[in-house]
Amino acid sequence: MTKKENILVAAQELFAKYGYAGTTMKMISERAGVAAGLVSHYYGSKENLFMVAGQEMIDSMLRMLRTRTATAEDGKQAVGLFVKAYLDFTLQNQATFPTLIRCSPFSDDNPDLDRETIGEKFKLLMEEIELHLRRGIEDGSIAAVPVEETAFMIYGCIIGAVRTVFLTPYDVPGLYEEACQFVMRSLEKH
């Protein structure tokens, strides 16, 4: 790994653990094993590094989500696969995923940060869900729900489950399982 990559990984881990304000450029340079000045040299500012760290994560997550939902046989199954894949991703990247939480437009961390670029990426996420919903409504596997609002609600469910697991002190084993079924139940036809 190059020093530049070392810095990015160190940043993803530290922002995940200590938040934006709680992470200093010095902490990042130390964990990356480089001089203090190099972090600014490569990434310009702390804010920019934070955003690059988040973008890199959302990009690889989007790729994975598209792969995992490609095999779905109908819209409902696609939604199910999406939710499952998303939750899996958080568990496979436990040490760094909270950085994406803090970077997302749903974060309450630092309202001053310019989340525009990353906000567009999250919009793609939502549109992915909408795609699956429309397919499901057409192929009859999903009830006739309002597409945009329901996409937001599905993503909202994911947010709620992920935050419970990653941020709160509450221990709710089986929450991820139930999250999948909760979403599925809300799409069912009667």
Partner DNA sequence: TATGAATGAGCGTTCATTCAT
Partner DNA sequence: TATGAATGAACGCTCATTCAT
List of residues contacting its own copies (CB under 8 A) = 17-22, 98, 101-102, 105-112, 115, 119, 122-123, 126, 143, 146, 148-150, 152-153, 155-161, 163-164, 167-170, 172, 174-175, 177-179, 182-183, 185-188, 190
CB of 167 to DNA, least distance (A): 21
Per CB under 7 A, the list member of 41, 66, 123, 189 interacting with DNA is 41
Q: Segment contacting DNA (CB under 7 A): 17-25, 52-60, 62-70, 171-179?
A: 17-25
Please give the structure tokens belonging to residue 45: 């500012």
CB of 148 to DNA, least distance (A): 37
Should residue 39 be labelled a site residue for DNA when binding is judged by CB under 7 A? yes
Give the chain's count of helices (H) and strands (E): 9, 0
- Which of DNA, its own copies, none interacts with 71 (beta carbon under 5 to 8 A by kind)? none
131/129 Cα distance (integer angstroms): 5
Chain mean position to CA 82: 12
Please give the structure tokens belonging to residue 133: 């919903």
16/99 Cα distance (integer angstroms): 4
Per CB under 7 A, the list member of 2, 112, 116, 170 interacting with DNA is 2
Distance spanning both ends of the chain, measured CA to CA:
54
64/14 Cα distance (integer angstroms): 24
Please give the structure tokens belonging to residue 180: 């999948």
Residues 96-155 that bind DNA (CB under 7 A): none
Should residue 17 be labelled a site residue for DNA when binding is judged by CB under 7 A? no
- Which of DNA, its own copies, none interacts with 91 (beta carbon under 5 to 8 A by kind)? none
Residue 188 near residue 144 (C-beta atoms within 8 A) = no
16/26 Cα distance (integer angstroms): 16
In the complex with its own copies, which residue's Cβ is closer, 19 or 85?
19
- List of residues contacting DNA (CB under 7 A): 2-4, 23-26, 34-42, 44-47
